[in-house]
Chains A and B, each alone.
Chain A
Amino acid sequence: EVQLVESGGGLVQPGGSLRLSCTASGFTFSNHWMHWVRQVPGKGLEWVSRIIPDGSGTSYADSVKGRFTISRDNAKNTLYLQMNSLRDEDTAVYYCARDEVYGSGSCGLWGQGTLVTVSS
């Protein structure tokens, strides 16, 4: 089955760290640009980060630059998001998504999301 499954969400204190994982199956993971997108409860979708198929290039939203790091292990078919210096406003459902066209944001496959709650 073609799918993405996120894990690693949970409750963390402000200033803390968390690493999200996204495991891909049913397709050639190493052929695709991958993204992380988040949704604050009750708010809209916000793009977080993107990584090139071989992992050699990344980009970030201004709101997370310098705090979050996207990476991938193509041998393990897994995408990661290392989140440091977490803030209350990082509380959201985090989705990983597969891009169908270059790194354009044409995300045709999404995971079910994992909830990150930043609170003391």
Chain B
Amino acid sequence: QSALTQPPSASGAPGQSVTISCTGTSSDVGAYNYVSWFQHHPGKAPKLMIYEVTKRPSGVPDRFSGSKSGNTASLTVSGLQAEDEADYYCSSYAGNKVLFGGGTKLTVL
């Protein structure tokens, strides 16, 4: 199975909102409510930001939110801050596999 599809880049000014999409198929994103989003700063371990489509782990600011419609999931970052600049990856359960998106580089202008 191919990776999930994400835009390679996204950007926004401090305080603005940005949404990153993650498109899969009816066999992965569309089939299960097991979409996760990870924030990854180069040289550090990835950090779980959203799981089960909409849930936030303890300690993740409520500026981060997730949603899903059909085969496409989305991550919205509201009130952008400089420290939000990072690579963001989605993942989806796909039965006997896990798929990752290609990643989106978020730039805070």
Interface: A9 (CB within 8 A): no
Q: What residues of chain A lie closer than 8 Å to B93, measured between beta carbons? A: 103-105
Asked whether, in the complex, the Cβ of A108 is within 8 Å of the Cβ of B51, the reply is yes
Interface: B64 (CB within 8 A): no
Q: Mark B61-81, 1 if CB is under 8 A from A, else 0.
A: 000000000000000000000
**A103 CA to B34 CA in the complex, in Å?**
10
How many B residues, CB 8 Å from partner? 28
Q: What residues of chain B lie closer than 8 Å to A113, measured between beta carbons? A: 45
Interface: B3 (CB within 8 A): yes
How many A residues, CB 8 Å from partner? 25
| CB < 8 Å neighbour of A104 from B34, B57, B100 | B34
Asked whether, in the complex, the Cβ of A59 is within 8 Å of the Cβ of B97, the reply is yes
Interface: A45 (CB within 8 A): yes
**A100 CA to B3 CA in the complex, in Å?**
22
Binding site for B on A (CB under 8 A): 35, 37, 44-47, 50, 59, 61-62, 95, 97, 100-108, 110-113
A-B contact pairs, 8 of them (CB 8 A): A95-B46, A102-B34, A105-B36, A106-B36, A106-B52, A107-B36, A108-B57, A112-B44
